[in-house]
Amino acid sequence: MTDFARTKALFAIPDGVVYLDGNSLGPPLRGVAARLSRVVEEEWGGDLIRAWNTRGWMAMPAASGDRIARLIGAPAGSVTMGDTLSIKVFQALAAALAMRPDRRVILSDTGNFPTDLYMAQGLIGLKDAGYRLVTVAPENVEAALDDTVAAMMLTEVDYRTGRLHDMARLTRAAHRAGAVAIWDLAHSAGALPVGIAEHDAEFAVGCTYKYLNGGPGAPAFIYVRPDLAAAARPALSGWIGHAAPFAFEPGYRPAPGVERMRVGTPPILALAALDAALDAFDGVDMADVRRRSIELSGAFVAAVARAAPGLELASPRDPAARGSQVSFRHPQAYAVMQALIERGVIGDVRAPDVLRFGFAPLYLDLDDAERGAAILGEILASGAWREPRFSVRAAVT
Amino acid sequence: MTDFARTKALFAIPDGVVYLDGNSLGPPLRGVAARLSRVVEEEWGGDLIRAWNTRGWMAMPAASGDRIARLIGAPAGSVTMGDTLSIKVFQALAAALAMRPDRRVILSDTGNFPTDLYMAQGLIGLKDAGYRLVTVAPENVEAALDDTVAAMMLTEVDYRTGRLHDMARLTRAAHRAGAVAIWDLAHSAGALPVGIAEHDAEFAVGCTYKYLNGGPGAPAFIYVRPDLAAAARPALSGWIGHAAPFAFEPGYRPAPGVERMRVGTPPILALAALDAALDAFDGVDMADVRRRSIELSGAFVAAVARAAPGLELASPRDPAARGSQVSFRHPQAYAVMQALIERGVIGDVRAPDVLRFGFAPLYLDLDDAERGAAILGEILASGAWREPRFSVRAAVT
């Protein structure tokens, strides 16, 4: 049984803050700054160039990859780290298209995060004519799978509503249609058990700065189904994905397994922060995380229904149909959120009218859920959000 | 006049070490760990998601880009940061090919760093048939420029020998042939004035962990000639390069200028370390750096000629024809370097027989050059490198 009181104590969240935005940026663990100081002063400063050997830097992407593999239900050796989620999406898509050379369609849905669609558009722009991105409503993906589809690319949890795709069913449907399945786990990794290997999907990608708490812009991950790793073609064929990077051969030869998806020199400081953050998941059972997530988000939905009875739920009411996030609609979502933040309840908004609240079981408890809902109710009942200062937008929202 | 005693005092290099490997990994500045602690604890931990606004995180790639622009002779607003050098090479190449749709050749040379060639090979694998990478000897690049060449992609300073290309002449030659010029400044940025804008090259890319001391795997940079930035097509079209990332539009629209070359979420911790490192260049004139670099490497070459008269110089003898690095050949280069490192003189090797020594004026002085050469001479004279333990190879060399 996972001890969530223990995990909560690992995080440094300011007093008085109810942090319901870990679905956008997870908070730091207490040990992160000390770990970074050690890496800078002892490893980099002490060993200088030799640290690549003496401190195991080159193995860090595989080591963190293995820790994340456990959290998404993948075997050790099937996940590696680096770059950003956008780059990893591109790599998975390019490899998928190479696996289905006679097909020309990338199928996605309107609930996907835009960068996934943008990266597909960029890839198509590089290919010869005929490739296209087809985007349908989330509920129509299965019907749109046919023998033109090379790759089905979906984000498991909708970033606006928290709606959870049925990964098992859709992956089976993709495979029946002969398509490759690519899952974006940005809002899943660290929040749900996922079970990527069990569902037999070919590729998965994700970021580590949300529920994995790796820090702003932390390195991304990519999973390649082990039976495919030795054949997957890395379009972004950088030297660190080469079979022998330090042989400095003129021709690219991919590394044997998922390590071929590495591109450039690993970002050691960022990987060290991520590794420190992953300590929070030691001894954590992802099934417990899912149960607790449903308990917390369910308590929040119920408390909001009492405290702010008119507020429209934008997420599925059935907790099994949503991720670890609950959204509501309010025509003045931005001002409401600013008023909430001033009261110490931090969520975020997505235009035009979505209030988002993430429930990360590692550092939130039922008191947080109740308190967040109560303050939301107070702000809506009092109209405090109508103060003009709350509607002045910041640059990044 | 640049005060190199001041800059030297900023660096934390262990006592007794002569660090001649800043061409591979620059050492940390004393202030880096403290800066990272502040970013983790005050910015990330204190402001959480709001730090994207309150701490200017989203502007960090442009801010560091401007600081690097000054060092490579580019105007403010023409450089942005992110990803790795390999990714930036891919972006520049893809944009260059799109600018010359009727041409099919990427021209490079055998002195280029392999990842540049590998990324070109990967890009070509995505395109329709007919594209190819042509690699010639460095001295034959100019003769190989013809009307089939879409892009000439060269690294200014050869990573093995330090040989410096004539950027002005080769860029002019590329333009006469109608080709786009892409310069990799991995071994130039922070070591030479470069003058990229004056030479009119279309693209430049570089890493920041060598002479810029940004840390292991620090973010890369890309320069796009300002008159082209509004038209350059980003093949890696990620959301942070979108004109309005937070509008979450379904279609990609590139940002107006070089910021379109951003891809995913900026790596804030790594950018903070880099920004702290760039403080060392405040008040530094790159012409002074070049003069000092020639003085240091010249003194080293002369001292090695006295201390180890048989050792073959692998770099150009004319300092104007080399970067900030001096290489020698020795059939047992690896063992010699291990013996040197044990004596506190840190350089590195490149197979099969190259000893590399980098001269970073910001933290090295003439004493370092003399002492490094003297110890090299002692090791070769005594045969100390013949001890078997010196020939046991580490994993990464």
Q: What is the pLDDT of residues A13-57, one digit of tens each?
A: 999 999 999 999 999 999 999 999 999 999 999 999 999 999 999
CA distance A91 to B383: 49
The secondary structure element, H or E, covering residue A153 is: strand A149-155
Question: Residue range A266-283: average pLDDT?
Answer: 98
CA distance B50 to A396: 9
Interface touch B87/A41, C-beta < 8 Å: no
B303 in a structural domain: yes
A397 in a structural domain: no
Predicted TM-score (pTM) of the model is 0.98
Question: Residue range B281-303: average pLDDT?
Answer: 98
Question: Residue range B382-392: average pLDDT?
Answer: 93
Is residue B114 predicted with pLDDT exceeding 90? yes
Together in a domain, B53 and B186 = yes
Q: Which of A123, A40, A54, A59 is nearest to A262 (CA)?
A: A59
Active site residues of B: 113, 184, 209-210, 356
Q: Which of B218, B237, B226, B177 is nearest to B202 (CA)?
A: B226
What is the per-residue pLDDT for B393? 79
Together in a domain, B184 and B322 = no
What is the per-residue pLDDT for B1? 87
What is the distance in angstroms between the Cα of B38 and the nearest Cα belonging to chain A? 8
Q: Is A154 an interface residue toward B (CB < 8 Å)?
A: no
End-of-domain residue from the set A258, A281, A304: A281
- Residue B26 in tokens: 């620059």
Together in a domain, A252 and A333 = no
pLDDT tens for each residue of A351-384 = 899 999 999 999 999 999 999 999 999 999 999 9
- Cα B221–B243–B260 angle (5° rounding)? 20
Interface touch A248/B58, C-beta < 8 Å: no
Together in a domain, B39 and B25 = no
Interface predicted TM-score (ipTM) over 0.90: yes
User: Tokens 């929070």 appear where?
Assistant: A280
Interface touch A239/B118, C-beta < 8 Å: yes
B397 in a structural domain: no
What is the per-residue pLDDT for B128? 81
For A18, which residue in chain B has the nearest alpha carbon?
Answer: B48
Q: Are residues B91 and B234 in contact, defined by beta-carbon separation less than 8 angstroms?
A: yes
Interface touch A53/B217, C-beta < 8 Å: no
Comparing CB atoms, the residue among B215, B239, B396 nearest residue A53 is: B396
What is the distance in angstroms between the Cα of B206 and the nearest Cα belonging to chain A? 12
* Domain at B379, CATH number: 3.90.1150.10
Q: What share of chain A is helix, strand, coil (3-state, %, to 5)?
A: 45, 15, 40
Interface touch A49/B348, C-beta < 8 Å: yes
Q: How many CA atoms lie within 13 A of A239 on its CB side?
A: 20
Q: Is B262 an interface residue toward A (CB < 8 Å)?
A: no
Per the structure, how many domains does chain B have?
A: 2
A396 in a structural domain: no
Question: Residue range B321-350: average pLDDT?
Answer: 97
What is the distance in angstroms between the Cα of A207 and the nearest Cα belonging to chain B? 10
End-of-domain residue from the set A281, A297, A316: A281
Interface touch B86/A252, C-beta < 8 Å: no
pLDDT tens for each residue of B254-265 = 999 999 999 999
Q: Is A15 an interface residue toward B (CB < 8 Å)?
A: no
- Residue A248 in tokens: 């400095």
Question: Residue range B184-199: average pLDDT?
Answer: 98
Together in a domain, B57 and B116 = yes
What is the per-residue pLDDT for A392? 84
For B396, which residue in chain A has the nearest alpha carbon?
Answer: A53
Q: Mutate which of B15, B24, B25 to disrupt the A interface (most A C-beta within 10 Å)?
A: B25
What is the per-residue pLDDT for A396? 60
- DSSP string of A334-351, one letter each residue: HHHHHHHHHTTEE-EEET
Interface touch B216/A268, C-beta < 8 Å: yes
For A32, which residue in chain B has the nearest alpha carbon?
Answer: B40
What is the per-residue pLDDT for A149? 98
Q: Is A220 an interface residue toward B (CB < 8 Å)?
A: yes
Q: Is A42 an interface residue toward B (CB < 8 Å)?
A: no
Interface touch A125/B265, C-beta < 8 Å: no
Burial class (CB in 10 A: 0-12, 13-18, 19+), B391: middle
Band of the pLDDT at B395, cuts 50, 70, 90? low
Chain B residues close to A115, C-beta within 8 Å: 238-240, 264
- Please name every residue paired with B224 in a beta bridge, in sequence order, or none if there are none: B203
Mean pLDDT value across chain B: 97
Question: Residue range B15-28: average pLDDT?
Answer: 98
Question: Residue range A284-293: average pLDDT?
Answer: 98
CA distance B7 to B20: 16
Interface touch B17/A48, C-beta < 8 Å: yes
Interface touch B351/A53, C-beta < 8 Å: no
What is the per-residue pLDDT for A361? 97
Domain that holds residue A244: 32-281
* Domain at A261, CATH number: 3.40.640.10
Cβ-Cβ contacts under 8 Å for B4 (sequence gap 6 or more): B288, B292, B361, B362, B365
Active site residues of A: 113, 184, 209-210, 356
Comparing CB atoms, the residue among A37, A125, A237 nearest residue B118 is: A237
Q: What crossing angle do the helices spanning B268-278 and A268-278 adopt, rounded to 10°?
A: 140
CA distance B245 to A40: 33
Together in a domain, B225 and B333 = no
Chain B residues close to A350, C-beta within 8 Å: 248
End-of-domain residue from the set B247, B263, B281: B281
Q: Give per-residue burial for B183-200: e unless 16+ CB within 10 Å, then b.
A: bbbbbbbbbbbbebbebe
User: Tokens 């795997």 appear where?
Assistant: B217
Band of the pLDDT at A395, cuts 50, 70, 90? low
Distances in whole angstroms, Cα of residue B164 to Cα of each of A190, B187, B317? 49, 10, 12
pLDDT tens for each residue of B221-240 = 999 999 999 999 999 999 99
Q: Is B254 an interface residue toward A (CB < 8 Å)?
A: no
B392 in a structural domain: no
Question: Residue range A274-293: average pLDDT?
Answer: 98
Question: Residue range B13-33: average pLDDT?
Answer: 97
What is the per-residue pLDDT for A63? 98
A367 in a structural domain: yes
Q: Is A118 an interface residue toward B (CB < 8 Å)?
A: yes
Positive or negative, the CA dihedral B293, B28, B313, B143 is negative
What is the per-residue pLDDT for B277? 98
Q: Mutate which of A15, A390, A396, A397 to disrupt the B interface (most B C-beta within 10 Å)?
A: A396
Is residue B397 predicted with pLDDT exceeding 60? no
Band of the pLDDT at B26, cuts 50, 70, 90? very high
Mean pLDDT value across chain A: 97
Question: Residue range B176-192: average pLDDT?
Answer: 98
pLDDT tens for each residue of B36-78 = 999 999 999 999 999 999 999 999 999 999 999 999 999 999 9
What is the distance in angstroms between the Cα of B106 and the nearest Cα belonging to chain A? 15
Band of the pLDDT at B396, cuts 50, 70, 90? low
- Residue A304 in tokens: 């909001």
Q: Are residues A147 and A178 in contact, defined by beta-carbon separation less than 8 angstroms?
A: yes
A176 in a structural domain: yes
Together in a domain, A197 and A343 = no
- Residue A38 in tokens: 């050690």
Band of the pLDDT at A393, cuts 50, 70, 90? confident
Together in a domain, B128 and B199 = yes
Question: Residue range A190-202: average pLDDT?
Answer: 98
Distances in whole angstroms, Cα of residue A88 to Cα of each of A71, A76, A135, A207, B58? 18, 19, 20, 9, 21
For A348, which residue in chain B has the nearest alpha carbon?
Answer: B49
Together in a domain, A47 and A22 = no
Q: Mutate which of A117, A261, A265, A343 to disrupt the B interface (most B C-beta within 10 Å)?
A: A265
Together in a domain, B53 and B201 = yes
Together in a domain, B36 and B152 = yes
Q: Is A154 left (phi over 0), alpha (psi -120 to 50) or beta?
A: beta
Is residue A244 predicted with pLDDT exceeding 80? yes
Together in a domain, B58 and B11 = no
Comparing CB atoms, the residue among B122, B135, B249 nearest residue A236 is: B122
CA distance A362 to A295: 13
Question: Residue range A247-270: average pLDDT?
Answer: 97
